[in-house]
């Protein structure tokens, strides 16, 4: 398939995703949306759900076709970079409607930098005249993230000049900067356009990072940076980077065993098999990914934890195929909510099915292909 046609198709689907996201603007927000979009999402829920699934599926098909083209060397790194830049530009203008986490980040930043209160003690609801309370979903929670994340949010928050729309934009731009950071580290470690595209063009990564502005990208940037610094034998800064990563969202604490072994091997001058390091990093991050229901549930954006390392592995390995299965299924967890507009009823079961069936199917297909 012609790469330009495919790129235009992919960009158009992303534009549609961006437009669709504006239908999820909360009625209590001081942000205006096109009434038609809001009515489509709220009143024509079956159609909205079908549209959401169709858009996600189309994006995924486009992504797989791109990966195939890159694997066949028909698409070069410069094409990937252009496509990622276009995707980022489109999604930066989308509304973070598929997850309201960015509003929680903003609220926590407001508690810290505007009200000058300890966000680990004071909840947004403790300030009854805070305008965000009208639409905030986690107003009765203290800060959930680490101190490094809270300190970092000062940058986008201050640059948002207390304007909600501008602040959302700044948080998304902030996530985009770390997305670029992760991509540059992936390139440095792999020198593979496939690895860069595997991460950078993944619809889940694009939507959750550039669309919803999740902070997982920041945590993964520092985690990857710590390994890059080990490779460069900059021990002290490597440790600082890992600590920063852990103190963003805590999940990367699971990387410690792999980190210690790698660290010891480099110190002893032993050769490092980076392929193996990335595999183990992916496995331990999958462990915490699967353990996340203990705390809450497996959210789509949690896939960024193992995916960052899976991208650095061999193309079309079993780990990559399984991850592709999850990358396809996890965004669909939002579909039953779009249809029912509540998280109860059949929604939890549907979420479980769409999470685990696609990777199982992908693995089955992979096994059948290998048998041939």
Per CB under 8 A, the segment of 68-76, 121-129, 145-153, 356-364 that binds another protein is 121-129
Under rule CB under 8 A, residue 276 binds another protein: no
**Could you tell me which stretch among 49-57, 116-124, 225-233, 308-316 binds another protein (CB under 8 A)?**
116-124
Q: CA distances (Å), 16 to each of 58, 95, 246, 271, in order?
A: 11, 12, 35, 48
Binding status of residue 121 toward another protein by CB under 8 A: yes
Q: Mapping DSSP to helix (H, G, I), strand (E, B) and coil, where does residue 364 land? A: helix
129 binds another protein (CB under 8 A): yes
User: Which segment (109-117, 253-261, 296-304, 323-331) binds another protein by CB under 8 A?
Assistant: 109-117
CB of 115 to another protein, least distance (A): 7
Angstrom CA distances, 114 to 127, 128, 215, stand at 12, 15, 21
Q: Is the separation of the CB atoms in 88 and 198 below 8 Å?
A: no
Please tell me the count of residues contacting another protein according to CB under 8 A: 10
* Both structure tokens of 29: 């927000």
Please report the DSSP string for 145-198 in residue order.
S-HHHHHHTHHHHHHTTT-HHHHHHHHHHHHHHHHHHHHHHHHHHH--HHHHHH
Does position 64 bind another protein by CB under 8 A?
Answer: no
Would you count residue 151 as binding another protein (CB under 8 A)? Answer: no
Nearer to another protein, 16 or 133 (CB): 133
DSSP assignment, residue 114? I
Residue 164, both tokens: 């909600």
CB of 219 to another protein, least distance (A): 24
CB nearer another protein, residue 150 or residue 311: 150
Residue 126 in the binding site for another protein (CB under 8 A): yes
Applying CB under 8 A, does 297 fall inside the site for another protein?
no
127 interacts with another protein by CB under 8 A? yes
* Contact call for residue 113 and another protein (CB under 8 A): no
26 contacts another protein (rule: CB under 8 A) = no
1: contact with another protein by CB under 8 A:
no
173 binds another protein (CB under 8 A): no
Radius of gyration of the chain (CA): 20
Nearer to another protein, 40 or 115 (CB): 115
Q: Give 26 or 126: the residue with its C-beta nearer to another protein.
A: 126
Name which of 83, 76, 88 is nearest 62 in CA terms. Answer: 83
Task: Please report how close the Cβ of residue 107 comes to another protein at its closest, in angstroms.
Answer: 14
Contact between 253 and another protein by CB under 8 A: the answer reads: no
116 binds another protein (CB under 8 A): yes
Sole binder of another protein in the list 35, 46, 128, 344 (CB under 8 A): 128
- Residue 122 sits in the site that holds another protein (CB under 8 A): yes
Q: Which of 115, 237, 280, 318 binds another protein (CB under 8 A)?
A: 115
The per-residue DSSP string of 295-345 comes to HS---GGGGHHHHHHHTTS-TT-HHHHHHHHHHHHGGGGGHHHHHHSSSST
What is the nearest approach in angstroms of another protein to the Cβ of residue 142? 10
Give the three-state DSSP class for 84: helix
Contact call for residue 107 and another protein (CB under 8 A):
no
Alpha helices in the chain (DSSP H): 3-21, 35-43, 45-71, 77-92, 101-109, 147-152, 154-159, 164-190, 193-200, 203-205, 216-231, 235-249, 256-267, 274-295, 304-310, 318-329, 335-340, 347-371
Q: Which residues contact 70 (CB under 8 A, 6 or more apart)?
A: 80, 193, 194, 197
Name the segment binding another protein (CB under 8 A); options: 113-121, 280-288, 312-320, 356-364: 113-121
Q: Which positions lie near another protein, rule CB under 8 A?
A: 115-118, 121-122, 126-129
């Amino acid at each position: 398939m012609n790469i330009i046609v495919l790129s235009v198709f992919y960009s158009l689907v992303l534009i549609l995703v961006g437009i669709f996201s504006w239908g999820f603007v909360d009625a209590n927000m001081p942000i205006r949306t096109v009434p038609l979009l809001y009515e489509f999402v709220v009143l024509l829920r079956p159609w909205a759900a079908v549209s959401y699934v169709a858009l996600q599926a189309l994006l995924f098909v486009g992504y797989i076709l791109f990966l195939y083209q890159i694997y066949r060397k028909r698409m070069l790194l410069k094409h990937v970079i252009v496509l990622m830049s276009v995707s980022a530009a489109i999604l930066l203008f989308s509304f973070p409607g598929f997850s309201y986490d960015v509003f929680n980040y903003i609220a926590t930043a407001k508690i810290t930098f505007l009200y000058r209160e300890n966000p680990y003690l004071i909840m947004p609801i403790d300030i009854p005249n805070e305008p965000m309370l009208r639409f905030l979903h986690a107003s009765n929670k203290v800060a959930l993230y680490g101190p490094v994340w809270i300190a970092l949010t000062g940058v986008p928050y201050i640059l948002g000049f207390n304007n909600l729309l501008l602040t959302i934009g700044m948080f998304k731009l902030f996530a985009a900067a770390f997305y670029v950071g992760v991509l540059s580290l992936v390139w440095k470690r792999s020198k593979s356009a496939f690895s860069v595209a595997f991460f950078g063009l993944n619809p889940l990564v694009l939507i959750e990072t550039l669309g919803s502005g999740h902070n997982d990208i920041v945590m993964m940037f520092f985690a990857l940076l710590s390994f890059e610094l080990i490779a460069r034998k900059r021990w002290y800064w490597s440790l600082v980077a890992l600590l920063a990563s852990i103190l963003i969202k805590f999940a990367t604490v699971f990387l410690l065993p792999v980190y210690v072994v790698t660290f010891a091997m480099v110190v002893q001058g032993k050769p490092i098999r980076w392929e193996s390091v990335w595999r183990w990093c992916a496995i331990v991050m999958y462990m915490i990914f699967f353990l996340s229901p203990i705390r809450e549930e497996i959210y789509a954006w949690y896939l960024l934890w193992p995916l960052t390392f899976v991208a650095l592995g061999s193309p079309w390995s079993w780990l990559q195929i399984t991850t592709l299965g999850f990358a396809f299924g996890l965004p669909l967890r939002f579909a039953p909510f779009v249809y029912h507009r509540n998280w109860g009823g059949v929604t939890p079961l549907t979420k479980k099915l769409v999470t685990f069936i696609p990777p199982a199917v992908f693995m089955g297909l992979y096994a059948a292909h290998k048998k041939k």
